[in-house]
């Protein structure tokens, strides 16, 4: 109280009012200011809107009729579930409607193919052996022809045959290298081969002079 009354006494001397009168005026002004601030704050809270379960309401509105409680229970958000259903329906319809229209048009307006005699001067295409129009479209524009698949398979067989020949030749070369005691390489290195030949010739000369049954 000493801290609050000290400025009051100083102001009373300036204004010419008694301390009690000025204190009462000050308390009334503070009370009015507090009431106005609280009223504005409460009004602002009443105007704040909330969204629960896709329903827009405010606290100040009537949330029910005269019968029953005037409250709405707060529930967890189901926005993700509704978004998932919307996207699922959208993409299902985007894929289902065109495919259904194509199937309906193919079966109703085009229909399956019928067997007819082949003319003498005509070679049928590979997709003409299929009956359904959708199958014909896939065989013509998406899949490869049987002739192309057959040629690809022949190419694969030829590559495997060439690999088999190369492996057989490599095996024969390794066998000859082991029999003749030749240098172990398929490529040419003159600096190394020169000394290998000299070493081999020296070994052959020693073998001719001494023989196989040499003992120390």
Encode the chain (216 residues) as per-residue pLDDT tens digits: 433 333 333 333 444 545 545 445 555 556 665 555 555 554 555 444 444 444 444 444 455 555 666 677 788 899 999 999 999 999 988 888 899 999 999 999 999 988 889 998 999 999 999 999 999 999 999 999 999 999 999 999 999 999 999 999 989 988 887 787 766 666 555 566 778 888 889 988 888 888 766 565
Task: Please report the pLDDT score of residue 200 as a whole number.
Answer: 87
DSSP H/E element including 148: helix 146-180
Residue matched to tokens 């809270």: 45
CB neighbours of 153 closer than 8 A, spacing ≥ 6? none
Question: How far, in Å, CA of 102 to CA of 110, rounded?
Answer: 11
Helix, coil or strand: residue 51:
strand
Q: 49 — phi, psi (to 5°)?
A: -100, 155
Question: How far, in Å, CA of 28 to CA of 21, rounded?
Answer: 11
Task: Please report the pLDDT score of residue 9 as a whole number.
Answer: 37
**Is the whole model's pTM more than 0.75, yes or no?**
no
As separate numbers, helices (DSSP H) first and strands (DSSP E) second, the chain gives 6, 2
């Amino acid at each position: 109280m000493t801290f609050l009354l000290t400025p009051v006494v100083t102001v009373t001397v300036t204004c010419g009012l008694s301390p009690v009168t000025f204190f009462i005026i000050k308390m009334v002004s503070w009370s009015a200011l507090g009431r106005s601030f609280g009223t504005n704050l409460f009004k602002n809270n009443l105007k704040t809107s909330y969204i629960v379960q896709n329903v827009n309401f405010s606290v100040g509105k009537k949330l029910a009729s005269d019968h029953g409680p005037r409250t709405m229970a707060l529930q967890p958000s189901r926005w993700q579930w509704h978004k998932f259903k919307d996207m699922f329906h959208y993409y299902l319809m985007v894929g289902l409607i065109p495919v259904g229209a194509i199937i309906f048009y193919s079966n109703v307006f085009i229909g399956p193919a019928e067997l007819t005699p082949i003319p003498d001067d005509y070679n049928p295409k590979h997709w003409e052996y299929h009956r359904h129009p959708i199958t014909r479209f896939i065989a013509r524009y998406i899949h490869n022809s049987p002739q192309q698949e057959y040629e690809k398979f022949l190419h694969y067989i030829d590559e495997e045959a060439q690999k088999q020949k190369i492996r057989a030749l490599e095996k024969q070369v390794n066998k000859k290298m082991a029999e003749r005691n030749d240098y172990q390489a398929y490529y040419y290195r003159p600096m190394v081969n020169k000394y290998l030949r000299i070493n081999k010739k020296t070994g052959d000369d020693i073998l001719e002079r001494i023989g196989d049954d040499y003992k120390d």
